[in-house]
Amino acid sequence: MNKETKPKVLIVDDSELNRSLLIDMLGAHYDVLEAQDGEEALEIIWQKGHELALMLLDIVMPGVDGFEVLEEMNRNRWMISCIPVIVISAETGVETLNRAFELGVVDYISRPFNFLIVQKRVENAIMLYVKQKQLSEIVEQEIYQTEKRSSLLIMVLSHIVEFRNEESGLHVMNINTVTRILLDQLRKKTNRYHLSDEDVTLIAMASSLHDIGKITIPEGILNKPGRLTAEEFEIMKTHSMAGAEMLQDIPFGQEDFLMKTAYQICRWHHERYDGRGYPDGLKGDAIPISAQIVGLADVYDALTSERVYKPAFDHDSAIRMILNGECGVFNPLLLECLKEVEPQLEGRLSEDVISSRVRDDVQRIAAERYGNLENTSSMRTLKLLEYERNKAQFYASISQDVLFDYSTNPETLTVSGHGMKKFSLPETIYYPRKNEKLLEIISPADLEKIGARLRSLPQNSMRLRMEVQLTVKGHKEWNRIVAQPIWSNDGQHIFRGAIGVVSNIHKDYVRMLKLEKQVRMDDTTGLMNQKYAKQQIQQLLRNQKLDWAMLLLDADDLKSVNDSCGHQSGDLYLKKVADRIHASVRKGDVVARIGGDEFLVFIRDRDGVEVAVDRIFKKITEGEDGISMCMGVATTKLHGRTFRDLFYRADAALCVAKEAGRSHCCFYDDSMEDILSPDAQDVNLDLHAY
């Protein structure tokens, strides 16, 4: 096997014997690099860090030791993020392990080395890291992008307001944080407002736009250091309605929950529970709960922040002023929530508190998990797996998408909690291709197609993207599957499974299909338009083994219908002609309107084109409701195999048929060659447009 195809593993140990033993154990499956101390290891990481699949790192070394290597990797975050590290050391103290895991190592191997343990832990660490990284990438790319763009836009707009308003850059984050804390507490107390996890996330996000209308307020009023006059205050009050109107004028997304919530917050966050607020004087729960909570969060942050017109009040004073009714009248239930979350609000922005809690958690986990060294590596691996899975589950829960994990040995399919609820499936499905419940949701053909396409992808290739119809509660809906195949890391390219995301795209997909249909179809008749018909015909003509015929048709009576009854009747007549033509051909034939009263039919010549043409012509023209029509025909057997050749010759034959009178059909022959003059460029189908 070529060295370039093997994952690269860096062994860092000052003992040449230890390095040699590890190379013997790993060399068959990995491209092994060596470093005899921490300084040399860092040089290799700087040069080849993005190529490394794993690093085995000794802790106790002369000069730059293992801890110093880890500290440098943490200072350069891409290193510790890109390279999983397994510690190799005879040091087994809890403090040593605690510090190593705090610095980001993923596992621990003690000396003396056991061949099987070394191989399995290296393989598992690489597989786990690659799999979870790929899953995170898929989730972040396919699920998180929409949320990210929305959040970014909101933050940019809100910070524009703050820049004009000379407020602290923390104001938006504070409102977001306080809003979320109050919402969480409200949900604990009551289900009166039916708030889901997604509602909490979107209301907190929309809160960032609460003062977007201040863009319209003159700076002299916005940043006036003293008390506003009555006239100035009336102008300031217009910002809530102005913000709502700005959001309402956005030409898209008006039905989206985020947009509706942002509108409610902008317009009504200055309403009062007693009905004496503005702009509409809403009272009680006529004020949306989103606006009530953001209004309370806004008052709290305004009190505890320094502004051009006032100093900052301390937390206790702010709470007392709100509860005493000095800053407005609020929902009594929300005031109860405010009292109950006081400790959280007071410490919400303290980085020291957060860091202390994290350190305490790390030390507690280290003491619990690694006091027994026999379980060190397995518990650490499970912890990492649990963390990554929880992160992926969180992204999936707020996006309403479904995560899945497919493994071949044994054959199992695992779906996220949302997927279980949405599709009424168990979390783990054994032998999914035989599971009746799953096959009610996705067709066996689509399931096999997905598996075949995943297995056919080259290793390290782009991910599979595929649209399929899934049956949800008895209705077929379009979904997009994005999946990453997982291969064995031993160089043998064995398919091990896949991880991916299922996203419901039904509304957008149906809308796209409608738009595509509008682009491809003639509005009046519902047939293909001339451009799309040409594309389809050129595709069919690529098959040199099949014979075809092109028919051009001209309806004789359209002009008289238009002249006597008007163009609306003419359109109805054209639709009748189109339906008649379409009913006369076989499935798979191309039927199009190419302009005015002319139509095109492209058929396969199976058993003699004359018989097929005669059948079509009679079905159109004969009978009580027959339509008078002339037809010109050209075939690939006699007249060429390009669209241009067939079209010009069928058009020449149509000219001859029309000269012969009503309801005539004519095949092109050499006697019509004179018609194919340069003037033949003036045809109904503008070929130069393509």
In tens, the pLDDT along 613-658 reads: 999 999 999 888 889 999 999 999 988 889 988 999 999 999 999 9
Among the ranges given (106-110, 394-398, 537-541, 663-667), the one the predictor scored with the smallest mean pLDDT = 394-398
Residue type present at position 34: E
pLDDT band at 396; cut points 50, 70, 90:
low
CA 311/CA 475 separation, integer angstroms: 59
Residue in the structure block whose two tokens are 């990797």: 73
Cα separation, 650 vs 533, in Å, equals: 15
CA atoms within a 13 Å half-sphere pointing along the CA-CB vector of 519: 8
Tokens 């010109």, located at residue = 632
Residue 480 has pLDDT above 80, yes or no: yes
pLDDT at residue 388, as a whole number:
56
**Contact by Cβ (8 Å): 112, 18:** no
Q: Which whole number is the average pLDDT over 660-689?
A: 66
Give the chain's domains with CATH numbers: 3-127 (3.40.50.2300), 146-346 (1.10.3210.10), 401-512 (3.30.450.20), 521-689 (3.30.70.270)
Q: Annotate 203-227 with DSSP letters as a single string.
A: HHHHGGGTTGGGGGS-HHHHT-SSP
| Separation CA 529–CA 519 (nearest Å) | 8
What is the model's pLDDT at position 382? 45
CA dist., res. 76 & res. 43, Å (int): 13
List of residues 6+ apart from 328 with CB closer than 8 A: 272, 277, 295, 299, 322
Instruction: Please give the helix or strand (H or E) that residue 33 lies within, else none.
Output: strand 31-35
What type of residue is 299? V
Q: Report the pLDDT averaged over residues 287-308.
A: 89
Alpha carbon distance 372, 258 (integer Å): 49
**Average pLDDT over the chain, rounded to an integer:** 80
Based on the number of CB atoms within 10 Å of its own CB, is 335 exposed (0-12), middle (13-18) or buried (19 or more)?
middle
Select from 603, 575, 599, 581 the least CA-distant residue to 590: 603
What are the φ and ψ backbone dihedral angles of 633, each rounded to 5 degrees?
A: -130, 140
Give every CB contact of residue 672 below 8 A, 6+ residues apart in sequence.
649, 652, 653, 655, 656
Q: What is the value of pTM for the model shown?
A: 0.36
Q: Are strands 411-415 and 402-408 parallel, antiparallel or unpaired?
A: antiparallel
Encode 500-511: b = buried (16+ Cβ within 10 Å), e = exposed: bbbbbebeebee
Question: 3-state DSSP call for residue 623?
Answer: coil
Beta bridge partners of 86: 56, 107
**pLDDT at residue 630 in the model:** 94
Q: Angle, nearest 10°, between helix axes 115-142 and 16-26?
A: 70
Cis bond before residue 426 (omega within 30° of 0): no
* Beta-ladder partners of 475: 472
Give the pLDDT band of residue 231 (cuts 50, 70, 90): confident
> Do 205 and 151 form a contact (C-beta atoms < 8 A)?
yes
pLDDT band at 320 (very low <50, low <70, confident <90, very high): very high
> Is 671 in a helix, a strand, or coil?
helix
Q: Quick one: pLDDT at residue 34? A: 93
CA dist 184 and 574 (Å) reads 62
- Separation of alpha carbons 147 and 154, rounded Å: 11
Burial of 78 (0-12, 13-18, 19+ CB in 10 A): exposed
Cβ–Cβ under 8 Å, residues 403 and 501: yes
Mean pLDDT value of segment 463-477: 89
Extract the tokens encoding 41. 């290891």
